[in-house]
Amino acid sequence: MSIIVDDKIKGSPDLLIEILSPSNEKMDTEIKKEMYQQFGVKEYWIANPDDKRIIVYHLSENKYIEYSNQIGKANSKLLNKEFVL
């Protein structure tokens, strides 16, 4: 709630989830990942609808580390919870 000011979002969200599209896979897995890391998004998920794989990156010391890489589920360090599709 602290980033909502005057009905606008000012700041980075804690969690972002990208759904991969074949036409922009490089954008989601490389370019956006780097940008979200730079702006301090605490957790970034990449979900592949083709094989149902979810990769979870968690920000640690200003760098993303791969926290979870599974088919049909995701473990979130930020939310301290496992999500099953």
Q: Which residues contact 58 (CB under 8 A, 6 or more apart)?
A: 42, 43, 64, 65, 67, 77, 78
Model confidence band, residue 85 (pLDDT cutoffs 50, 70, 90): confident
- What integer is the mean pLDDT of 26-42? 93
Give residue limits of the domains in the chain.
Answer: 26-84
- What integer is the mean pLDDT of 54-66? 97
Distance CA 38, CA 82 (A): 26
Q: Is the pTM of this model over 0.85?
A: yes
DSSP 33-61: HHHHHHTT-SEEEEEETTTTEEEEEEEET
Model confidence band, residue 23 (pLDDT cutoffs 50, 70, 90): confident
